[in-house]
Amino acid sequence: MKRFILVTIIGFVLTALAVTGGPQPLASPAAVAECDCGNLETLQIELRNALRLQQAFRNKIPELRGMNRPTSQNALQVFAKGEARRGFEPIPDYKGPAEVDYYPVGRGLHADTNLSSRKDDLCRRDATSESALKEAKEKSACVGIGAATQAHEDFHANFCRRVGFVPYEAMHGADRAQEEVEAYGAQIAVLRAEIAKVLEHTNVRIEFESEVRAQWPPNPAITAEIIEVRSEVSMDRVSASGDMIKLEGQGTQTNNARLEGHCSFTGGLPYTLTSRGTLETDGLEAQIRLTTEGTSPSLKAQCTIEGQTGRGWTMPVNLNSGGNVPVINMPLKNRAEKVFDHSTGEGAKIMAQAGVKLSGQAKIRLILCEQSK
């Protein structure tokens, strides 16, 4: 079964993935490069392609199941070379082999050979497929992509060994398609693990900034209140479970405000709170949650109207955001940004009932590719 290569050319040496059998070709020590944040986009293209191909083979299984064995095998070969690649994203500048076949040595033996009596490893890759795999890894963007390619191809060889060469060759096309689904699963797992490792070694952070203007109903003292919030959360803990990668961290949130009209704040500003964040990702999309913890100080204000001056203050307020935190969805991409319009949010609807009109924007920005020192 052909395995479509999902790799980019920047020469590198492969750090071989530990496998249960089969020769491991050695690459030139001068060519290897560990994946870093500069390879993140390529890793994500590889991941999207592997997910698409996995789903394509999964969707083909019911149709193949209705065919006899020879017809199903032929139909799968045609599908793998054509329709399965629909939506495939090309990898920039890749000049390695367009595809790698898993071709076991037993397949090349003479038809009269008694395969059942042979004691050597009939499932190991033949020289041609071994060479193509080696070249594909050497022309991948970084070690992790090569390791993912190796994991896919090793799944085929190890599956052949597990069931035996003769039964493997006699498999129905639907079972071969399921084998592809599982081989892509092995590849996807390595790609996600590599993305997690890249994120662990960069200074991932979330930046939040907001300015909202609350225009009050007509009154002699205050025309509007402008509230400014700035927050930065550094993600310093990375973990992975199943298909998800989770990052956690904390930082500070700075709060400031000013008044328009005949009043001004005279104390308590600016003040800071603790900001905490989580980012969960499948390697492609990010789900971000931000919370705040702390208590605002007493804010003092002074108003002067027609020569008369008055002063007031607020009580300290616990500003913990609690567990009901909205999820912010955005691409897992360096400097991805999402903008919210305060005039159309739920807060604006609530404040409008009291005659207060909100305007302004909030922005959340994801920083991925600033390497740690």
Contacts of 291 (CB under 8 A, 6+ apart): 275, 276, 277, 320, 321, 322, 325
Identify the pLDDT of residue 10. Answer: 24
Cα 242 to Cα 169, 196, 202, 287, distances in angstroms: 32, 12, 22, 16
Identify the pLDDT of residue 308. Answer: 93
Q: How confident is the model at residue 214 (pLDDT cuts 50, 70, 90)?
A: very high
Cα-Cα-Cα-Cα dihedral of 59, 63, 67, 72, to 10°?
-40
Q: How confident is the model at residue 100 (pLDDT cuts 50, 70, 90)?
A: confident
Q: How confident is the model at residue 1 (pLDDT cuts 50, 70, 90)?
A: very low
Radius of gyration of the chain (CA): 29
Q: Is the pLDDT of residue 353 over 50?
A: yes
Contact status, residue 360 vs residue 345, Cβ threshold 8 Å: no
Looking at this protein, which amino acid is placed at residue 113? T
Average pLDDT over residues 77-97: 88
Identify the pLDDT of residue 112. Answer: 58
Distance (Å, rounded) from C-alpha 40 to C-alpha 46?
10
Worst-scoring range by mean pLDDT, 1-5, 105-109, 201-205, 241-245? 1-5
At 8, is the secondary structure helix, strand, or coil? coil
| Residue 313 structure tokens | 């203050």
**Residue ranges per domain, the chain?**
2-200, 205-367
Q: Is the pLDDT of residue 36 over 50?
A: yes
At 130, is the secondary structure helix, strand, or coil? helix
Contact status, residue 235 vs residue 204, Cβ threshold 8 Å: yes
Average pLDDT over residues 214-243: 94
Identify the pLDDT of residue 349. Answer: 94
Worst-scoring range by mean pLDDT, 94-103, 130-139, 209-218? 94-103
Give the mean pLDDT of the chain: 87
Highest mean pLDDT among 19-33, 103-117, 242-256: 242-256
Give per-residue pLDDT as tens, 306-338: 899 999 999 999 988 766 678 999 999 999 999
* Residues facing 317 on adjacent strands: 296
Does 25 sit behind a cis peptide bond, omega within 30 degrees of 0 on the bond before it?
no
Q: Is the pLDDT of residue 280 over 90?
A: yes
Q: Is the pLDDT of residue 11 over 90?
A: no
